[in-house]
Structure 1
């Protein structure tokens, strides 16, 4: 697992830069509306949301 991939994505999210399409960044639905999911790698997920100017990482899982 290359932690620098996670660091790069977090930096882009923190600075409001768009993620490349390969990360399949999308908002979840239902009770998770407002939470976003991106695929750092096909089997490595990041769930997050933004609350005002705060980036909250809720799950990093493989």
Structure 2
């Protein structure tokens, strides 16, 4: 996860840089392993991604 496609796979909304209609959710997008249970963080990132998906769908009509 990052702000530049040269050093990350997804953006801040978990959208894949190479495939703009693909969202990658879960701890696999974390840049490093977590030291605590990541469930709440994963839920928050999933909520953020779902808002981005809804925004994209609203533009379709």
Q: Same fold by TM (over 0.5)?
A: no
TM-score range, shorter-chain basis? under 0.3
Larger radius of gyration: 2
Q: TM-score, normalised by structure 2?
A: 0.26
TM-score (norm 1): 0.26
Larger helix proportion of the pair: 2
Q: Which has the higher strand share?
A: 1
Name the structure, 1 or 2, with higher relative contact order (CA <8 Å, separation 6+). 2
